[in-house]
């Protein structure tokens, strides 16, 4: 899942969009030949001891997973792959054993983020997305990536800080907002470095992809079989780029384009969340309790805009007298249900309560649920910190103040209601002491014939990113779903499941382009 948070927050921490690398100049990057030399079948002698590990599966610690159908285990990897004799970290893995008698091997999954726990997501994938035939044929394996959950988690900010940052609204003055963004980014980044500088500097996606190859070996598979969702597609395409000879059947659903830069991603998300919000405003009229009273869909979209703007400096009461609904929190609570079309009725109810009854409790709940905040004020995971650090490492800052001002204006143009949520990412990243790794170079030389799934109206990972990756990877298949959901291989389309699972089970490559529809409900 691609996660965003409030306007100030998104900007402060180098975007909560999913980020991909772009050129930093040649001086700090390995040559093309050096990168190709890295893509070998056998690990280097210095890494061999890590590849010789085998996962010892056993009962899961309840702190890791309460699902009794899962087994857990750990592996050890170098924190810095350029220093294999140096510090190591342990990565937490989990599996559901294949239900059949002769499993093909392991099917690895990643749910997205970055910063989401793969272990927490595994039960949901089993119950709602991955078909029973696939569950019979494969051990389903997931993991918490480095820095996330139970795998050497990075924890930089306090719960109180996260509450403060999420609730902060724009001041209405760009200069003042940018100053706040830069101060917060500098503070957050320094807190991470003070907590564990070496860990902070090595939570990039390329390192996580290298971890995944060690995991592949640790479960005894010659090739990786993998389904990645959202940010998991970036992790998966990075793996394919670095380990083409070890890549088997790879499914990438809800694509983050590895060639897109910061602004491409921000603009794409802003534009498509705006389109989803407009579609929601159009369909709201079908609900008896729709609080948007204008007669046209354009008018109802303006009703939402008017409501959100009314909260600037005038937050709405909630059931928690210490936490009124600010404009930033209301925007977060409005955007979150747009990921899933079936969540739209929940958004209708929350807006009705806020607009008609002047009670922001339900919108605040949606915002908190999305941000993994518990009712007691604690946050249930470290996804906020991990996501922020990973994005900053993966994503170089490009441009200058003049360029960024022009980009901010473009965001407002394509997304007049929510565009401000996507502003100021480069300004915050520039001020952060966490500096990006050298940009990756996705050439996809010798890549296998992967399957790509894209939703025509996906708000979080625009369809054009799936089309772009389809062009980048020779021989790939693009399975297109016509829906307003985020991702497609999630149990919502028999057509998508049929194409994906024939590939996973029999190795049957779908046609170059396949069109699917949402199942009738």
Catalytically active residues, by annotation: 230, 458, 486
Handedness of CA 468, 474, 480, 484 (dihedral sign): negative
Report the distance separating Cα 58 and Cα 72, nearest Å: 5
Report the distance separating Cα 156 and Cα 192, nearest Å: 5
**Residue labelled with tokens 């900007």:** 11
Cβ distance 119 to 149 under 8 Å?
A: yes
Report the distance separating Cα 491 and Cα 255, nearest Å: 18
**Residue 254 backbone dihedrals phi, psi, to 5 degrees:** 80, 70
Cβ distance 262 to 269 under 8 Å?
A: no
Q: Which of 257, 213, 214 is nearest to 233 (CA)?
A: 257
- Cα 54 from chain centre: 29
Q: Which of 391, 392, 390, 369 is nearest to 381 (CA)?
A: 369
How many DSSP H helices and E strands does the chain contain?
19, 10
Report the distance separating Cα 474 and Cα 447, nearest Å: 7
Provide the 3-class DSSP secondary structure of residue 320: coil
**Residue 11 backbone dihedrals phi, psi, to 5 degrees:** -70, -40
Question: Residue 521: enclosing H or E segment and its boundaries?
Answer: none
Token reading at 215 = 């995991």
Label the pairing between strands 477-482 and 451-455: parallel
Q: Which of 500, 396, 284, 339 is nearest to 15 (CA)?
A: 396
Nearest-5° angle of CA 264, CA 111, CA 128?
Answer: 125
Instruction: Compute the chain's Rg from CA coordinates.
Output: 22
Token reading at 494 = 């028999």
Angle formed by the axes of helices 231-242 and 205-218, nearest 10°: 70
Label the pairing between strands 58-59 and 71-78: antiparallel
- Sequence-distant (6+) residues with CB within 8 A of 430 are 182, 397
């Amino acid at each position: 899942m691609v996660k965003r948070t409030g306007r100030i927050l998104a900007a402060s921490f180098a975007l909560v969009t999913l980020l991909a690398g772009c050129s930093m100049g040649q001086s700090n990057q390995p040559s093309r030949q050096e990168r190709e030399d890295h893509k070998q079948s056998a690990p280097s002698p210095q890494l061999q001891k890590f590849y010789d590990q085998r996962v010892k599966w056993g009962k899961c610690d309840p702190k890791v997973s309460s699902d009794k159908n899962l087994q857990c285990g750990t592996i050890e990897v170098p924190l810095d792959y350029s220093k294999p004799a140096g510090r190591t970290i342990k990565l937490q893995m989990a599996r559901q054993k294949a239900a059949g008698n002769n499993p093909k091997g392991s099917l690895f999954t990643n749910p997205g983020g970055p910063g989401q726990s793969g272990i927490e997501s595994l039960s949901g994938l089993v119950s709602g997305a991955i078909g029973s035939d696939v569950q019979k044929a494969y051990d389903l394996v997931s993991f918490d990536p480095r820095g996330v959950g139970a795998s050497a988690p990075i924890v930089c900010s306090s719960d109180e800080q996260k509450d403060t940052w999420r609730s902060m609204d724009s001041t209405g003055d760009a200069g003042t907002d940018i100053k706040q963004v830069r101060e917060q980014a500098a503070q957050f980044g320094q807190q991470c470095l003070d907590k564990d500088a070496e860990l902070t500097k090595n939570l990039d996606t390329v390192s996580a992809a290298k971890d995944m190859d060690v995991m592949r070996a640790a479960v005894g598979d010659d090739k990786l079989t993998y389904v990645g969702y959202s940010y998991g597609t970036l992790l998966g395409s990075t793996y394919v780029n670095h380990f083409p000879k070890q890549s088997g059947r790879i499914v990438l659903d809800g694509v983050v384009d590895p060639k897109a830069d910061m602004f491409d991603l921000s603009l794409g998300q802003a534009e498509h969340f705006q389109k989803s919000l407009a579609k929601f405003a159009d369909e709201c009229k079908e609900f008896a309790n729709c609080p948007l009273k204008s007669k046209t869909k354009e008018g109802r979209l303006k009703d939402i805009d008017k409501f959100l703007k009314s909260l600037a400096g005038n937050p709405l009461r909630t059931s928690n007298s210490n936490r009124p609904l600010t404009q930033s929190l209301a925007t977060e609570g409005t955007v979150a249900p747009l990921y899933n079309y079936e969540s739209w009725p929940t958004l209708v109810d929350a807006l009705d309560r806020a607009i008609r009854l002047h009670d922001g409790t339900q919108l605040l709940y949606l915002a908190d649920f999305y941000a993994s905040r518990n009712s007691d004020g604690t946050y249930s995971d470290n996804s906020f910190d991990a996501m922020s650090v990973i994005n900053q490492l993966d994503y170089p800052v490009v441009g200058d103040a003049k360029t960024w001002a022009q980009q901010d204006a473009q965001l407002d143009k394509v997304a007049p209601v929510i565009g401000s949520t996507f502003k100021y990412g480069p300004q915050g990243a520039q001020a952060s002491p966490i500096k990006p790794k050298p940009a990756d170079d996705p050439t996809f030389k010798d890549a296998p014939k992967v399957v790509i799934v894209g939703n025509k109206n996906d708000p979080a990972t625009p369809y054009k990113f799936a089309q772009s990756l389809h062009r980048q990877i020779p021989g790939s298949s693009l399975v297109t779903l016509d829906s307003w959901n985020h991702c497609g291989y999630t149990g919502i389309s028999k057509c998508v499941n049929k194409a994906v699972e024939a590939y996973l089970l029999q190795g049957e490559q779908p046609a170059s382009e396949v069109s699917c529809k949402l199942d009738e409900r």
